Every structure is written in structure tokens, then in C-alpha cells.
Amino acid sequence: MNGHLKRRPVLIPGQRPWLGFLLLAAVLVAVPFVAALGGQAWVRIANFSILYIFLALGLNIVVGYAGLLDLGYVAFYAVGAYTYALLASPHFGIHLPFWVILPLGAGLACIFGVLLGAPTLKLRGDYLAIVTLGFGEIVRIFMNNLNAPINVTNGAQGITLIDPIRIGDFSFAQTSTFLGVSFSGPQKYYFLLVALALLVIVVNMRLQDSRIGRAWQAIREDEVAAKACGINTRNIKLLAFAMGASFGGIAGGVFSAMQGFVSPESFSLMESITILAMVVLGGMGHIPGVILGAVLLTGLPEALRYGIEPLQRGLFGRMIIDPESLRMLIFGLALVLVMRFRPAGLWPSSQRRRELAESAD
């Protein structure tokens, strides 16, 4: 069993793992309060980092485990988001509770995952990427144009006044006080997101080290040999799409509730690429790597957004370069540098590192 234990990700290396976990828990609890010192905007950034961890780990199942390059992942995110928006907003006058809509959104996204997966089963690599890219765009364009003849999605204006997540009288949108500590809306969402992220991490870990996970890995390694071993590659690949998609659907629902507003703009191709970049940059198939990738790629652009202007003023006394363009430039440069010097990702699994090392020989 050594091989299995070896592969389990270790979040904090050290002799006493419980100490590491305690430390990690303390940091996780402290984050929203420390972030709040800089304003609620920073809490929201932290929330988005965690939402992206969730999304990236969902995509990791498809790309990292099963090796299917999916450039349309955001479509499932959109399906989940719109499911929530339509069923919990004044748009149709329906206000279902979140615990009905989130599973529904996950299920719908799952169906969309199978819909995308079924025709693309024979495709691999770049061909698959093109088809999934097209699929992502189709979904977005539908959201954009499904306002006539019947107004379903309200087109480019999007849907507003979406209900926040509410448990009885306890709403995630307002500030409330527990045990003398005041929690703002975003701070409450933060803890909800952390709980969801922990769930997706456990699911990822357990799937990886299971019969299904091995089948995915076998397909990634050699599809013909996997078939000869009796793996029904069609079903197992569809399963990867469906699993990944349902996580996207849940993330979409939470996104909807947290923002109170969705529009097709949030589900552009750029979003798919960003999520894929998180997986690849962090370390494909390696849970801690993917988490790191998600946090960096959400945090870095924001840090640059807030950091560049003061930096330029401090250095030159005035603004020389428009912060927005400089931000994307630095971001892009960072991506290129990481891929040049750490092609297996920032924190790859030992396995992935080996694959790349030997293919470079």
C-alpha cells in the first residue's frame, strides 16, 4: 500500500501532521478577519480565490485525472449560475431555497457535461479542446440571446436581485453577530465557501485513490491498453465530464447567490482559460498544486490592481503606465515564466514531474 500512501497529498509537511492541520485551520479562520482590515473588498477577493479553488479542482478531475483537455468548463459554471438565478430571483418570481437549487444546478450541469462528453469521446488533445471551446461559447451565446421570443435569461442585461443563500431567517447577505463577533456578509460566505472547498478536496483525494481514479489514470496513460484491461472508456470518460461539470454547477450557484447578479459576461472564454491556467500552472492532477494555482491566479491580479498605482506614484511621483494594461502584462509575463522554468507547474505531483522530465529527454 506504500504506493498509495505516497501519493496522498501532504498539505503541511512535517513530523506532526495534526500541528500542521491546526495551523492551517487557524490561518483559514483568520483570513476573513485579517482581509477585512483592508476593507470588505479583500474579503471578497478571498472568497473568489476559494470559489476558484472549487472550480479548478472540478476541472482537475477532467483535465488532471482523466487527461481530457476541456476549454469550455465555464459553460457548466454558467449553467449552475443561471439555474440559481432563474429559480431564486424576481425574474420569474420563483424563490426556491438554496438546498433545492444547488443540487438541481449540479444535476443540470452534470447533464450538460454528458451532453458535451458524448460526441467528443473519440477526440483527444487539441481536437477535444476545440470542440469544448465551441461548446463553452454556445452556452454563453445562448445565455446572451435567450431573451426572445420568451425572455428566459434576460439577455445581456443579466438577472439581478438574486436571493442570497438563506437558512431560515439567517441570511448570508447581512451582517450578524455571533458570540460578540460581528460577521459581515462576505465573511459568512467565506466560511461557506471554505466548507465547500474542503468537501471538493476530500472528493478529489478519494476519487484519485479509487477504482475510478485508477481507470482515469489508465486512460490518460494509454487508452488502448485501458480498453484491453476491460475498462469501458466511454463510460469512464463521461463520468469524468459529469463529475467535473457538477462541481462547476455548484460553484455557479454559489457565485450567483454571492453576487446577487449574473450576466453572460461572467462566462467568457477567458474565464475557462483562467481556470485551466490555474490547474496547469499549479500542477495538473496534484491537489495542493491546483489550490496554489487558484489562489495565485485570483490573488495576483488583484494585488497588482491595488499595488501598481501606489507603486508608480511612489517611484515616479505620477502614473506612467495605465495600471490596467500593466497588470495584465505582468500577469501574462508571470505565466510565461512559470511555464518556462517550471513546466510541470509550481507544485506538481512527483508523478507529473517525472512524466515531463522523461518526455524532455
Partner 1 sequence: MSEKPLLLEAHEVAKHFGGVKALHDVSLTIRRGEIYGLIGPNGAGKTTFFNCLTGLYKNEGGYFIFDGVKLEADAPHKAAAVGIARTFQNIRLFGNMTAIENVMVGRHLRTHAGVFGAISRNPATRAEEGAIVRRAEELLHYVGIHERAHDYAKHLSYGDQRRLEIARALATEPKLLALDEPAAGMNGTETEALRVLVEGICRDGVTVLLIEHDVKLVMGLCERVAVLDYGEKICEDVPAVVQKDSRVIEAYLGGSVA
Interatomic CA distance for residues 288 and 57, integer angstroms:
10
The alpha-helical segments, DSSP class H, found in the chain are: 2-7, 17-37, 40-60, 74-87, 98-117, 125-145, 185-208, 211-221, 223-228, 233-259, 269-282, 287-316, 323-341, 350-360
Q: How far is the CB of 227 from partner 1 (least distance, A)?
A: 4
Interatomic CA distance for residues 131 and 289, integer angstroms:
27
Residue 162 binds partner 1, judged by CB under 8 A: no
Place of cell 466511454: 234
Q: How far is the CB of 253 from partner 1 (least distance, A)?
A: 20
Q: How far is the CB of 4 from partner 1 (least distance, A)?
A: 8
Q: How far is the CB of 62 from partner 1 (least distance, A)?
A: 14
Q: How far is the CB of 248 from partner 1 (least distance, A)?
A: 16
* Cell digits of residue 39: 476593507
Helix (H) or strand (E) run with residue 177 in it: strand 176-178
Q: How far is the CB of 233 from partner 1 (least distance, A)?
A: 7
Short-list 157, 158, 183, 190, CA closest to 50: 190
Cβ distance to partner 1 smaller for residue 225 or 328: 225
Cβ distance to partner 1 smaller for residue 302 or 355: 355
Q: How far is the CB of 15 from partner 1 (least distance, A)?
A: 23
| Sole binder of partner 1 in the list 1, 148, 150, 360 (CB under 8 A) | 1
Interatomic CA distance for residues 169 and 188, integer angstroms:
14
* Cell digits of residue 250: 455548484
Interatomic CA distance for residues 173 and 114, integer angstroms:
34
Check residue 161 and give left, alpha or beta (phi > 0: left; psi -120 to 50: alpha): left
Residue 351 binds partner 1, judged by CB under 8 A: yes
Binding piece for partner 1, criterion CB under 8 A, among 134-142, 188-196, 303-311, 349-357: 349-357
Cβ distance to partner 1 smaller for residue 45 or 243: 243
Binding piece for partner 1, criterion CB under 8 A, among 37-45, 85-93, 128-136, 347-355: 347-355
List of residues 6+ apart from 358 with CB closer than 8 A: none
Q: Scanning residues 176 to 215, which ones bind partner 1 (CB under 8 A)?
A: 202-203, 206-207, 210-215
Cβ distance to partner 1 smaller for residue 313 or 354: 354
| DSSP annotation string for 204-252 | HHHHHTSHHHHHHHHHHH-HHHHHHTT--HHHHHHHHHHHHHHHHHHHH
Q: Scanning residues 224 to 243, which ones bind partner 1 (CB under 8 A)?
A: 224-233, 239, 243
Q: How many residues line the site for partner 1 (CB under 8 A)?
A: 34
Cβ distance to partner 1 smaller for residue 166 or 214: 214
Residues that bind partner 1 (CB under 8 A): 1-3, 6, 202-203, 206-207, 210-215, 217-218, 221-222, 224-233, 239, 243, 351, 354-355, 358
